[in-house]
Amino acid sequence: MPTEPSPLITAAALDVALGAESLWSGAGRRRSAWRVLDVRWKLGGPPGREEYERGHIPGAVYVDLDTELAGHGAPTDGRHPLPAEEDFQAAARRWGLDDCDAVVVYDDASGTSAARAWWLLRHAGVRDVRVLDGGIAAWRDAGYAVQTGMLVPPRPGGITLRYGELPTLDADESAALVARADGILLDARAAERFRGEVEPVDPRPGHIPGAVSAPTTDNVDSSGRMLPAEALRERFSALGVDERTAVGVYCGSGVTAAHEALALVVAGLSMPALYAGSYSAWSNDPDRPVVTGA
């Protein structure tokens, strides 16, 4: 059985991979099998495209999280529902992706937005997707060059995507999970939002009843790099997660929940089920109860 590739890649390893690909391309290959996607995005802005133009990994294609990694629907669908399968495939082809490409995604936010692209591509059947550990800062800190301005659009790819490779949850399934003796639903938002002390975006403060607070910011160190696997395993064990636990993850809108999923996989645990609508969908449904406090 083939070994699963690591979901993380270092700046040094990416530089070696891209350098090797540039040599191979001179031997008759039309394009690199490594594709790099820049997924810089922050809730409330500024637009990631501006940061991309100021400097990005050479050859990286800019990906707009709001328009290419999310759909748009009713409030009860959440702020960032999954894009329609055909829309996501069209976007991936615009990025130049072909079947069997290896993909590296990065951001400037400790991997929290890049993980959305990682999760979606994996969910759609792309096997080899890595998150650049430490993002663009790690690349710059290592002394590697950046490219400015907008990249000439790549040759359109021909990748075929189909959702269903990763487990997901809807609202009813999330509620059912916390009722299971072996189930746990992790809330990746900041602890103060979980407790309902602040709520900057969603209509009702608090959290899904029975959920456990697990801020995804606690999965990284001060440089934005993912904690070592053993440290992550200890963290999740303290929260009640082990190899036998059925785990679900959610956040405000399904973005940082993907980063929680990434951390669980780095820890050597099973891929959790992701509630894509997350708290923004849950809290917009008046029939869904919310609770506050720890």
Q: Is residue 49 predicted with pLDDT exceeding 80?
A: yes
Q: Which two tokens stand for residue 140?
A: 């710059």
8-141 CATH: 3.40.250.10
pLDDT at position 93, please? 97
pLDDT at position 171, please? 97
What does the mean pLDDT of the chain come to? 92
Of 103, 105, 72, 102, the closest CA to residue 87 belongs to: 72
DSSP structure string for 146-169: -B-SPPPPPPP------S-SS-EE
Find all residues with CB under 8 Å of 2, minimum gap 6, and list them: none
3-state secondary structure of 4: coil
* Catalytic (active site) residue 100: no
Mean pLDDT (whole number) for 136-165: 94
pLDDT at position 191, please? 97
- Percentage of the chain exceeding pLDDT 90: 86
pLDDT at position 32, please? 52
**Domain boundaries for CATH 3.40.250.10 within the chain:** 8-141, 168-283
Q: Is residue 290 predicted with pLDDT exceeding 70?
A: yes
Q: Which two tokens stand for residue 26?
A: 């001179």
Q: Give residue 45's pLDDT band: very low, low, confident or very high (50, 70, 90).
A: confident
**228 backbone dihedrals φ, ψ, rounded to 5°:** -60, 155
- Check 211, 214, 251, 273 and give the catalytic one: 251
pLDDT at position 28, please? 40
Mean pLDDT (whole number) for 261-284: 97
pTM over 0.95: no
pLDDT at position 4, please? 63
168-283 CATH: 3.40.250.10
